[in-house]
Structure 1
Amino acid sequence: MINKPKKTISKKKLTTLTTVLLVCFIFGGGLNSNLLPVIASGSGDFPPPSSGVWTISQETIINSEVIYINDSVSIESGGTLVLENCVIEMNGNEDDKANFIVKNNGNLTIINSKIEAFSDYSWYIEAEEGASLKITDSTLINFKGSKYTSVITLYNNYSVITNNTISNFNYKAIFARFTSHYNNITKNKISGGFVGFEVVDGWYNEINDNEFHSLSQFAISVNNGSFSNILRNKIFNVSSIAINFQRSMNVLCNTNNISTSKTAIEC
C-alpha cells in the first residue's frame, strides 16, 4: 500500500468547522448526516501489507478507502472480504502479479467500487471451485498487458456479476470454465477486449441485459454451456462473431439486439 502524505487542518479552518457544527446543532436540531463526509473504515485483516501477499482469513469489511494492491490478495477458506465504495489501485510490477484469488469457502464481495490498473500491468480476479463471488455496481478497468488472462475467471458456481462496467482488457472480460454453473451475468457494460463473456463446460448460466461492444472476437461464446439463457443483450461493433455456440443444447437465445458485427450468430 502506498502511503499518501497526511493533510493537516489549520487553526482558522478548524475554527470555521467548529462554528458550522454549532450552527447545525443550534438551528437544525442536530447534525444532518448528508452534510458529513463518508468516513473511511476497515476491519479484520485491513490494512494490507506494504509488500507480499495480503491474506484474508477472517471477516474484513472496508468502506470508502483508496487501497493500493502490489501483490496477490488471497481470500482463504472462511475468510470474507467486502469492498464497498472503494477505489482499488492494482499496482503490480509485472502482468498479473496484482490479483484477487478467492479460495474454496472464501468470499469476495465488491459493491459500488472502482478497480483499475495503477501501473502499466494487467491484473485479474479468480474464484476457485467452492468460492463465493459477488461484484455489483462497480467499474473494472484493466491494462492490456502481454498475458492472456481474463479479468474475471470463474471456477465456482452462483457468482453474481451485475451492473458493472468492464473495459480495456487484453483477453476475456469474464470466463466461466470447467463446471462453473448457475452464474448471473446481467446488466454489465463490457468493451475494449477480445471476448466479452465465454463459458466452457458450464451450465445454467444467465447472460442477460448486458451491453457488449468494441470486441475483436466474440461478444458471447458458449461452448458446452447448455440450459443457459442469453436474453436482451445489446451487441454492436464486434469484429468477428456476436454470439458463438458450440456443443450446447437447450439454450434460450432471443430478443438480443445485434448490429455492426461481422456475423450475428454462429453455431
Structure 2
Amino acid sequence: MSERETLSDRFAFNQATAKYWAMDELIAGCVASGVRHVGLWRENVAEYGLDRTAKEVRAAGLSVSTLCRSGFFERDGWFDDNRRAIDEAAALGTGVLVLVSGGLREGSRDIAGARRHVADAVAELVPHAVAAGVTLAVEPLHPMFCSDRCVISTFAQAMAIASQHPVGAVGVCVDTYHLWWDDTVLPELVAAGPRVATYQLADWITPLPAGVLTGRGLPGQGCVDFDAFHVAVERAGYTGPIEVEIFNDELWARPGAEILADTLKAFHRVVSDD
C-alpha cells in the first residue's frame, strides 16, 4: 500500500456486508465504485472456486484485505481445516487470516481449559502460517458469544495469545462491534503496536434485534465511538485497510450495489481524511 494512500482509499468492503451478492458482481461492483480492497469469506470463495476467485480478484486490481474465517478449535478436524484456510489465504494473496476461536465443546463448562486449548491450537498452526506468509489474526468477540462461538472475549485475551509468537505470525483482529464496551481496550490497542493485524468497523445498535448475530449497524447508526477507536489504532501504527463488516438481515435483503454505496457513505461519515 502506498504511503500516500488516504484514509478514504483504505476502505475495504467485507463480503459479509452483502452476504448474497454473487462473487463476480461483488468484484465488478467494487471496481466500479473505486474500491481497492475486499475482505473475502471462505464459504463464498469455495462456492465460486478458489483459483477462479484469486484470478478474477487479481485481474480486477483488487487486494484481498483479509480472509474470514478459520479457527473453531472445539470442532473435530480443526487442525486440517485451519491449515487449508492458511493455504487459501496465501492463494488469494492476503496476508491476514481471521481466527474466531470457537466456543465450548458440547456439555463442557471448562472455559479456562477451552482458552488454553485455543492458545495451544494457534501455536500448532504458527509454523505453517509463517511458511505461507500469513498472519493469524485472533479475533475477540463480544462476551455474549462466549459459549457457542468464541471463548476469546477481550482484546487482552487475544493479545495474550498473540504475544507468545513473533510479530507477523500472530496478531489481533480489532472489530469495533465486539470491543466497544471494553474500558481498557483503547490503551491496550495503542500498546499493541504491530500486533494490530486488521481493523473492522461495525456499529452497536439498540434495542438489539431478536437475531443478535445479525444485529450490527452501519458505522454511525449506533453508539460506538469510532473517533476514539480510530485514534488508538492510528497510534498503534496500523496503516492497512479498514474493513466494514456488517451482519444485518435488512441490509442483506437489498441489492449488493446499494449496500456497497450506503456502506461507503457510512464509512466516510466516521472516517475522515482531515
Same topology, TM > 0.5: no
* TM-score normalised by length of structure 1: 0.30
Comparing both chains, which one has the higher relative contact order based on Cα–Cα distances under 8 Å and sequence gaps of 6 or more? 2
* TM-score normalised by length of structure 2: 0.29
Larger strand proportion of the pair: 1
Answer with 1 or 2: which has the greater Rg.
1
